Amino acid sequence: MTIVRALYSRFEHLVHELSKFGTVGAVALVVNMAVFNTMLIAIKDKQIVATVVSTIVATVVAYLGNRHWTYRDRAGNTDRHREMFFFFLINGVAAVIEVVAVFIAKYGVGHDGPLAVNIAKYGFGLPLGMLFRLVTYRTWVFPQTVELEPVHVPAAATTPLHVQPLLHAPQTHLHPQHTYPQPVAETASR
């Protein structure tokens, strides 16, 4: 049992993050399924439109849940506009993955019934999109902030250095194989 406890204590933060992420995802999934199937009943033969609308609504629910619960400890100094841009960009890519699955079921295989479309969307598109979201949220949307430790600089290092005038500065930036003439002082014999 000590090995299991040691592993848990080592990955405790990740376990908590994944459980919160999964809970938010489950709520968003219920919202997604409710909107999707309601739209399938309301407007027949518009599976692609239903997929897009249900994904947008679920994305808003997921953003609010992840921002205010799953990753609330990472809200320190992040730019909310940048965060929202990446969140909705990533969810746009995930939505395309879901739409492609429904598109293949409807137009590629020829199965456009409610059961076939639900299987395509939630059996193939959503798991692939969820995997994509999980990996990219941690990296770009809700990155972990790094606390920088203060560096102690000795007092001697903060004193200004004497800067030589530019005319007498060594010409180290010049090519060593070239010989450059040194300036000659004007003579009084002229």
Q: Answer whether residue 106 is part of any domain.
A: yes
Q: Answer whether residue 172 is part of any domain.
A: no
Work out how many domains the chain is built from and give that number.
1
Q: Answer whether residue 118 is part of any domain.
A: yes
From first to last of its 190 residues, the chain has per-residue pLDDT tens of 688 777 777 778 778 888 888 899 899 999 999 999 999 999 888 889 998 899 899 999 998 998 888 878 776 656 788 888 888 899 889 889 989 999 999 899 999 888 999 999 889 998 898 888 888 877 777 777 666 566 665 655 555 555 445 555 555 555 555 555 555 555 555 4
Q: Answer whether residue 162 is part of any domain.
A: no
Q: Answer whether residue 129 is part of any domain.
A: yes
Q: Answer whether residue 2 is part of any domain.
A: no
- Full residue range of the structural domain in which residue 24 is found: 12-141
CA distance 160 to 76: 36
DSSP letter (8 states) at residue 108: I
Report yes or no on whether pTM surpasses 0.75: no
The DSSP result for 6-46, as a single string, is HHHHHSHHHHHHHHHHHHHHHHHHHHHHHHHHHHHHHSTT-
Q: Answer whether residue 148 is part of any domain.
A: no
Q: Answer whether residue 44 is part of any domain.
A: yes
Contact (CB, 8 A) for 36 and 51:
yes
